[in-house]
Amino acid sequence: MSVLVDANTRLLVQGITGKSGSFHASACKEYGTQVVAGVTPARGGEKFENTVPIFDTVAEAVSATRANASMIFVPPEFAGDAILEAADAGIQLIVAITEGIPVMDMMRVRHALEEYSCVLIGPNCPGIITPGACKIGIMPGYIHRPGHIGVVSRSGTLTYEAVWQITSRGLGQSTCIGVGGDPIHGLTLQKAVEYLHADPDTHAIVMIGEIGGSEEEEAAEYIRARVKKPVVSFIAGATAPPGRRMGHAGAIISGGKGTAQAKIEALQKAGVRVAKTLNDIGEEVMKALGK
């Protein structure tokens, strides 16, 4: 089993002819992901790496290739419309890698997506990977290995660190999801935890949060009420000064809310093992599994 992506996922890449799009499309393809189409307006009829057909629109790509997932590398000013174009074409999983999409655009997109059944991951995220089966995003594939630990995080870099610690201890991952660090994004930490909890192949969950917002507290409440699997967490930004954005646009303490301590306390009350430092994540996973 896996969450959201597997070996049958058929991926199209919006912005496949750009520098970042082409580089990461190639990396996903090399990993084994079925990259079936690319989309770049006015480039329809060309081929990427001599094998992947390029189309002018997502609708044309879906009709010709039965693509069911999209990875977006469109510039920020056009990325909101690219997300909606994918949803209109019937894409079920949209992974928006693009960073810097205007907040007003994302407010419009999130409202519009309420009319669709698709799942949006991102924007400003590393993507999603089911090790050994499908990689949609910019994460280094080699650090992952198939296993039973689900990972969800607001930070791409911290996701990679947690994954490497898990892999180094001889364990592996079921599915790893980077939800993104922007204040307005698609898939939330809680919803990702729901997916991982429902997956029988996921035996434990690692959730990495950070200061700002309330997603960690909401996930903690869900974990307290519903989750029976071991959960390990780490909250980044404990030493960040209030009122100053740290790294991600959503990582800011405002009005006394969104502090690391508040999140840690909520998670501990939910029975979550909270790692004191980033380096402790792997060890806490081992303890949670009784190893």
pLDDT at 248 over 70: no
Confidence of residue 253 (pLDDT cuts 50, 70, 90): very low
Q: Which two tokens stand for residue 213?
A: 């917002």
Higher pLDDT, 211 or 164: 164
What is the sign of the dihedral through the CA atoms of 183, 186, 192 and 193? Answer: positive
CATH 3.40.50.720 domain range(s) in the chain? 10-121
| The listed CATH number (1.10.3210.10, 3.10.180.10, 3.40.50.720, 3.30.499.10) that belongs to domain 10-121 | 3.40.50.720
* Active-site option among 144, 148, 185, 248: 248
Of 118, 45, 40, 111, the residue nearest 82 (C-alpha)? 40
Q: Please, which residues have CB within 8 angstroms of residue 63's CB and are 6 or more apart in sequence? A: none
Is 203 known to be catalytic?
Answer: no
pLDDT at 240 over 70: no
Taking residues 81-89, report their average pLDDT.
98
CATH 3.40.50.261 domain range(s) in the chain? 139-288
Radius of gyration of the chain (CA): 18
Output the pLDDT for position 241: 56
Q: Please, which residues have CB within 8 angstroms of residue 215's CB and are 6 or more apart in sequence? A: 154, 188, 189, 190, 209
State what percent of residues in the chain have pLDDT above 90: 86
pLDDT at 13 over 60: yes
Output the pLDDT for position 251: 45
| The listed CATH number (3.40.50.970, 3.90.330.10, 3.40.50.261, 3.40.50.10150) that belongs to domain 139-288 | 3.40.50.261
- pTM of the entire predicted model: 0.93
Alpha carbons within 13 A on the beta-carbon side of 97: 22
Output the pLDDT for position 56: 98
